[in-house]
Structure 1
């Protein structure tokens, strides 16, 4: 079992999938090794790896081809899962896709701006502009491509027009109708949270709610996860055990058989209500394995159900290992088994709960660091309160949902559950106000191993010697991190923020952020991408936040950055258009300063008549190597800059205005003669950036192009005169 598991899990760490001939050879090796008892573990490992790679290759083959990327197609399909309705946008997954154009993926994730009320199970004919799976790649950001592949989504897209073909079957549409009914209930303002707990739809929770849940480490409690399924199964099992203890269970039926059957039926029913998403499938497999172990295999040890559940999950869906939730869920169960198995004596319930929380917080710390997840310092206390709280709310909410046919009773129970959730969110918001979730800087492999050992030792049983040594082993967590640049050198990061701009300039002891990305409704790139990347790189404070001008794609994320970390000074090309909370000062043309042997110079056109023309331009020079950050200046502003004392040859040039046709004139490129140019833009952006004529001029001067849409984040070590490093050079088989 362990050899087969190791083969299935190896998929997660492969930079590329083996070719068909190598895969066939691996399969033959597995079959041959299985014939001998001594080589059987090797055969099982190869068999698991072969199955995982084959499954992943099928998913990759079902993605939209490059020649169809960005094109619009008429297609038909059925809506699966619960569509998300947020701020006038409907997002849903379409399966069983059919079209006269062959080769389209069978599973799509689509967005319909201003679209109608799409429901689960409906069949639609749609005109959709499809795009290949693509996501931003930064020092720290959500891996959207891995998320899509794990769900076997072959393309994303936006809908241009559509027509309903078939209504949903009554059984398929039940979840959607129940969600609609729950959202209409007066639940103390927490109808969205009830829908999250009952049917697994988290779209009713605001960004403020998600922020509170993240800061308190309680995200896993508010949308159906393994914990909810396990709680319900535990409640049902305990109810039968109590009936048997009170003499109310039929004596001719073994009560534990009935308890296991009822618990499994409840878990499967709750899983169906939640749409059998991947976390729920994991939980159902775990519950089934534990119940099977309880019935007949307890003599084989407590680790058997954990290994069996993991094996079942990976055999059914090998791509589950791409999700952070897979590793966290099984690791948390393993930690609890390690902490409580074989303990002598009885503990009070509150001792068990508190010990479980601090063990989970400490034991999962290394995995959270490796996965780049935020760490909540208030998590143990918050979970100690929230776990039993939600454990009581879930059966109340489910019972209220079942009794909605009796409005006065069902709605009263749901109101009580909603009131309890509202009170819980108030308590969690109070705890979150103490300390935001902490993002640790990137640690080396050896530092991470040291921290992992330091976290594991205190979790071991009391009789194990050397547990106190875990405390000094945690020190790298606070003192280790990425090495800053050497004196007279600068590290430049152009982050991948889509159609926007955010550039970090870091010297030995100082940091400057040039622009902060965009903010789109509740999605703030400053909060979601730029700030996590800064923390991952070890930046704890900004000496200067320089906003070239006030357009959203450059300054939209600035407020989130200023809230999240100390900022000593804010400079803006258009200070009057900035939020008052930023207290931005004006860009002083001609201002110069030096940090750690690196020279900085500002320039702004005094005759600017628009926001783009008023962009504050920054020149950075380290050991004779120069880079110019240009904001959104146009060709007229470029001519004015060429007449200034700052003009001259460059090594690196950020193409003005994302490479628009109105910028990057031949005069600018010929005079500066850069070795390489940087383009920060979104893939398939509506403006056509960078314009083909601009790229032609760049090729004419012989400059190399670094494009964030194609290469992800770009790192330059200014002062070393060496090529740039791009984030997509880190190979992953899914991108």
Structure 2
């Protein structure tokens, strides 16, 4: 059988195995463990039948493909089941627990709200106890992501070091991340690392200093970080060198990340699979070139063999140096398997070798299939292998590097658009210098600096020169091209078109490649019909941000909170969301009032997206009115009675009145801009900001509101019976953070809506909420649309618990 095996047959089996594992990751919920055991038995039966079959090779290989899919799916399912079982029961969330464990990562400094200094690290759990002596359930998480911040009157924060054993008083909660269209999946990221709960430290006691092999690598990396910071001091290059050498991406400032993203070089600044791949490729290329200088050495070991294994060793050393993170691990395995297959002498085509190495990586880490880095890494290696071997001599080396750079840039462009909805049009020029500059100069100097610290200064000087070049490119008109998320068929068409463009195929096929890429580059964007509007309540945590769109206009009501001085909802949530939707500008930004959970993301938003008009209740001296990007001629104050019409949809402000601004002692909440939106057919939505009961009585909204925002995030000070009686809402939603410290929405307020028969959708359980005036009885939750088995289980719609709807109202359906 082995002698008659053809490469495409092995490739088909590997593809079926990858498809089997990928199918598991599409499940919204995992079946019982017995199902996976049964699937494994079926796979074994199919394997035996395939191996024993004589004649009819097509049937035999079909059986082997089905066996591979079943066995791989059962393997991934059992791994997922074991990891999923380690979860914190909801009943134990928010309770103080004593946990004994060992610090299992490099502690990272971070800032909390208000700029409070803090730390974050992973704890490997050894024991958990309840202070009140209650019996804890079995199967609790074995790895925790913990945070601690300096607080007045609290213990002084110690210097946390990897490998130390601590006894900690923790308040744990299940893993929860925001859920927005095309947004980062925080829950998957932690699930892949085996982290099944997060927590805040309240008290701590050191049990044992770090010693022995546990955490030794991370302790060495911690000392290296401290020496590098001492050597270079506080400058932008320091953070980038820490990220390049130690994998600590948080060390790079927000402005520098924006520069790298806009020039298409961000992949070089993170220890991603693509970065490790390019570093290994550069190291192998350099080692092969140097080896060819000696004919005697080439006779002993051929230069291609030496270059191949030098690249693998360079990737391994770099991965260990940077902390042996999950992306680096799978890249090392990929390169090792590729090198081993080539070394074995098997005359297999390179696509088959690449496919088998992908299967090996996925068997080790089944969740790699869900990560952009996996696909970018293998695509980069495939493109480099398709580019062929460089010609002899330094001229051939330069021509080969240029050819490979062009192939990689063009070939990875569709994947970059798929994963990030953004493409740097200056990326080819930027990477032409940045890839060899970073991979062959800066990164090696940063690594060797561990032995010779003065080299860090040279690396910083080289890095500063590169950043000047990148800043020059970023200033060019049209440097960045953003595209909205395309439908699945357009994505597949774009990938096929890119393959036709970069593979060594006849030139007459290239125009077909361009045509196939058009649906990905310019997808058709659905918009509401004239006279209708759609509402998207973003999942920003404890804060408000609602996007309203008509046929040709867009309004953003508030911009969410500032999470800490270096991150806010505008940067993390709203700008990626708007780009994914194809929204290139805002006709109006409405800031309801000055509280940080409503305007915290405004500065980042206005700096990153054109805003034509600004409507707010902010005082004239507020810094946001003069912030970069704020419209100078389109600023107005919210006042009751203001009206305008867009595309047949009416907008009207119900609060505040001009007289409200004359009361200097009035709280910001009392000045919240309240917006009523009415479709041509009379369907209405009411956005209320943080108004409280005293202001609700004067709103006088029309009855029969189809969608109501709970005022003040569901606080007890709002949602008065008078408001519910006047508005008579059919459906309500509240934007509040998961298990937030304010207790929003208040149980008494939810009970009030329940008594009125109004279903309430909570953003913590729903994620981003979609609603359209064209289908007012339907609301769609992003958490349900994208639900996978690793996501936190939560009740998305509590209509059954909230009681019957008012007579004559339609039952909202959430999907």
Q: How does the TM-score come out when normalised to structure 1?
A: 0.93
- Seen in structure 2, the aligned counterparts of structure 1 residues 442 and 458 have a Cα distance that, compared at 3 Å, is same
| Partner residue in 2 for 1:91 | 120
| Partner residue in 1 for 2:178 | 136
Question: Aligned to 1:641, which of 699, 709, 726?
Answer: 699
- Greater shift, 196-205 or 5-14, is seen at 5-14
Please say if 1:45 is aligned against 2:69: yes
Question: Aligned to 2:382, which of 316, 334, 349?
Answer: 334
CA distance in 1, matches of 2:643, 2:741: 37
| Partner residue in 1 for 2:33 | 20
Please say if 1:71 is aligned against 2:115: no
- Seen in structure 2, the aligned counterparts of structure 1 residues 127 and 243 have a Cα distance that, compared at 3 Å, is same
- How many Å apart are 1:511 and its aligned residue? 1.0
- How many Å apart are 1:282 and its aligned residue? 2.0
CA distance in 2, matches of 1:591, 1:117: 56
1:369-391 deviation digits (Å, cap 9, x = unpaired): 43344322222211111011012
| 2:508 counterpart SS class | coil
- Seen in structure 2, the aligned counterparts of structure 1 residues 518 and 315 have a Cα distance that, compared at 3 Å, is same
Q: Is the 8 A contact 2:707 2:733 kept in 1?
A: yes
The correspondence of residues 193-592 of structure 1 with structure 2, limited to 5 A, is 193-226=240-273, 227-228=275-276, 231=279, 235=283, 238-239=286-287, 242-243=290-291, 245-246=293-294, 249=297, 264-297=312-345, 299-340=347-388, 348-390=396-438, 391-402=440-451, 410-434=452-476, 435=478, 437-463=480-506, 465-520=508-563, 521-576=565-620, 577=622, 578-581=624-627, 582=630, 583=632, 584-592=635-643
1:503-561 deviation digits (Å, cap 9, x = unpaired): 11111111111111112311121122112212222222211111111111111111222
CA distance in 2, matches of 1:270, 1:342: 25
Q: Can you give the 5+ residue segments of structure 2 that lack an aligned partner in the other structure?
A: 1-13, 51-59, 112-116, 130-135, 151-156, 661-665, 792-815
| Partner residue in 2 for 1:602 | 653
Q: Can you give the 5+ residue segments of structure 1 that lack an aligned partner in the other structure?
A: 403-409
- How many Å apart are 1:264 and its aligned residue? 4.3
Number of positions where the alignment pairs a residue of Structure 1 with one of Structure 2: 725
- How many Å apart are 1:248 and its aligned residue? 6.7
1:182-236 deviation digits (Å, cap 9, x = unpaired): 2211377522222222222223211111111111221221233443466357536
Q: Is the 8 A contact 2:180 2:573 kept in 1?
A: yes
| Partner residue in 1 for 2:43 | 30
| Partner residue in 2 for 1:692 | 747
CA distance in 1, matches of 2:276, 2:420: 25
Q: How does the TM-score come out when normalised to structure 2?
A: 0.84
- Greater shift, 206-215 or 193-202, is seen at 193-202
- Structure 1 vs Structure 2 CA RMSD: 2.6
1:328-374 deviation digits (Å, cap 9, x = unpaired): 11122223333448999997444333333333333223333433443
- How many Å apart are 1:656 and its aligned residue? 0.5
Please say if 1:732 is aligned against 2:788: yes
The correspondence of residues 138-217 of structure 1 with structure 2, limited to 5 A, is 138-169=180-211, 171-172=216-217, 173-186=219-232, 190-217=237-264
- Seen in structure 2, the aligned counterparts of structure 1 residues 134 and 591 have a Cα distance that, compared at 3 Å, is same
Q: Is the 8 A contact 2:390 2:399 kept in 1?
A: no
| 1:327 counterpart SS class | helix
Q: Is the 8 A contact 2:391 2:400 kept in 1?
A: no
- Seen in structure 2, the aligned counterparts of structure 1 residues 119 and 437 have a Cα distance that, compared at 3 Å, is farther
- Seen in structure 2, the aligned counterparts of structure 1 residues 526 and 74 have a Cα distance that, compared at 3 Å, is same
- Seen in structure 2, the aligned counterparts of structure 1 residues 432 and 701 have a Cα distance that, compared at 3 Å, is same
Question: Aligned to 2:674, which of 617, 639, 646?
Answer: 617
- How many Å apart are 1:156 and its aligned residue? 1.0
1:149-190 deviation digits (Å, cap 9, x = unpaired): 111111111111112222222634222112221221137752
- Seen in structure 2, the aligned counterparts of structure 1 residues 334 and 252 have a Cα distance that, compared at 3 Å, is closer
